[in-house]
Amino acid sequence: MEDKQFLRDLKDRKQSAYSKLLDEFQGKVYNTCLSFVPNREDAEDIAQEVFVEVYHAISKFKGEARLSTWIYRISVNKSLEFIRKKNAKKRFGFMQSITGNMIPMDKSTYFTEFDHPGVQLENKERNETLFQAINRLPEAQRVVFTLHKIDGMSYKEVAAITNKSISSIESLLFRAKKNLQKTLGNFYKNEK
């Protein structure tokens, strides 16, 4: 899919090229967004934002990386941007509760049941526990862990998407696993 004519057609905003792009990447982008933001509706919204960004920014694509790498990078960035905004809203709500200007917040769980291809867990509670633990990881560890372990990307692909060396990816993945073992070990110890 990396042929020069296809890229020219994308830059010329040809509908057939965008249809081909959507056919190729829509499911992959959605799954990546779902890996970071495990809520179907939000992942769908973020995936749409990714393709809007691709449409508007394709003229800036220089071809230094593969098109797929560039699209995944946008997917990760949009997902992290969404998480940051959501966390900022939580902090704002917390501050309002302290000052007495409480705004009713939705108490339903954020996570939804989904069938992500990289995660085959038995039930919703385990999904929530896993994704809550992943979301507590430092951002760099969370990105590497999610792309490699949940989306099934190779170290080389993760390195290209994150602009990090393979040794950095290995180190971040090692630290992420250790942090998850500690977090999940404490969780299950407290469950008994």
Tokens 């998850």 locate to 180
SS3 content of the chain, % helix, strand, coil (to 5): 75, 0, 25
pLDDT digits (tens, 9 = 90+) for 58-93: 999 988 889 999 999 999 999 999 988 887 655 545
Parse the chain into domains and list their residue ranges: 1-109, 118-192
Here the tokens at position 114 are 């989904």
CA nearest to 75, candidates 4, 24, 143, 5: 143
pLDDT digits (tens, 9 = 90+) for 148-181: 988 889 999 999 999 999 999 999 999 999 999 9
Residue 90, pLDDT score? 55
CATH number of 118-192: 1.10.10.10
Dist CA 151 CA 144 (whole Å): 10
pLDDT digits (tens, 9 = 90+) for 108-153: 344 444 455 554 445 566 677 778 888 889 999 999 999 998 888 9
Domain 1-109, CATH number (from 3.30.60.50, 3.40.50.2000, 1.10.1740.10, 1.10.600.10): 1.10.1740.10
